[in-house]
Amino acid sequence: MIYIDETAFSRKTRKYNSILAGEASAKFSLLLGAVGCFDCRICELPNINNVINYFRWRSEDAHRNALNANCYWMLRKKGHSVQAATSQLNGMSVGNKNELLFQNGINFNYIPDWQKRGIGLYWECYDKPTQNPITGQATFAKRRRITENYHLPMREDYALFIAELLKFIA
């Protein structure tokens, strides 16, 4: 496991949260040319299994939120008020929400994965072809790059995916 000896801001989580959210919001806003706001959450988890379960819960929560948002905005586009759309969806099962969308011409299964589960950004190791500067012999150097994944797996496959990513940093 990699441990970083970080003592900035006296290791105050609330300070890290505000600084990280502020930096992300500022950079995004500059690049976008409009105001964008981010929040931040730091979770200190005691072991790898809790980390895997946390990310799995967040993934499943994102999927539920996407289903709710698609239902809500479909109802709003059909003329329902905020209160009426919210009220209609309150307590509705996942199956009934899928059916509501389907009856209105939307098959939730065909919505792009990234819109349902988010986008994964993570480090990936790769071998970069290079040349030994002393011998001139062709070789490879281990490097890493940020990878964008628009097709994150679901459920147990997602847990296995996170476990594999954690092996990289452990």
Which parts of the chain have pLDDT scores under 70? Answer: 1-11, 168-170
Q: Enter the DSSP assignment of 141.
A: E
The Cα angle at residue 30 between residues 27 and 34, in degrees rounded to 5: 120
Number of domains in the chain: 2
Domain limits for position 4: 1-42
Residue 163 maps to a domain: yes
CB 143 within 8 A of CB 125: yes
* Residue carrying structure tokens 């890493």: 144
Exposed, middle or buried by CB within 10 Å (0-12, 13-18, 19+), for 149? middle
CB 108 within 8 A of CB 98: yes
Residue 52 maps to a domain: no
**Could you tell me the sign of the dihedral formed by the alpha carbons of 146, 5, 167, 15, in that order?**
negative
Q: What is the pLDDT of residue 6?
A: 61
Q: What is the pLDDT of residues 60-97, one digit of tens each?
A: 999 999 999 999 999 999 999 999 999 999 999 999 99
Q: What is the pLDDT of residue 12?
A: 75
Q: What is the pLDDT of residue 143?
A: 93
Residue 24 maps to a domain: yes
Q: What is the pLDDT of residue 19?
A: 85
Residue 133 maps to a domain: yes
Is this model's pTM higher than 0.85 or not? Answer: no
Q: What is the pLDDT of residue 170?
A: 55
Residue 104 maps to a domain: no
Residue 130 maps to a domain: yes
CB 17 within 8 A of CB 25: no
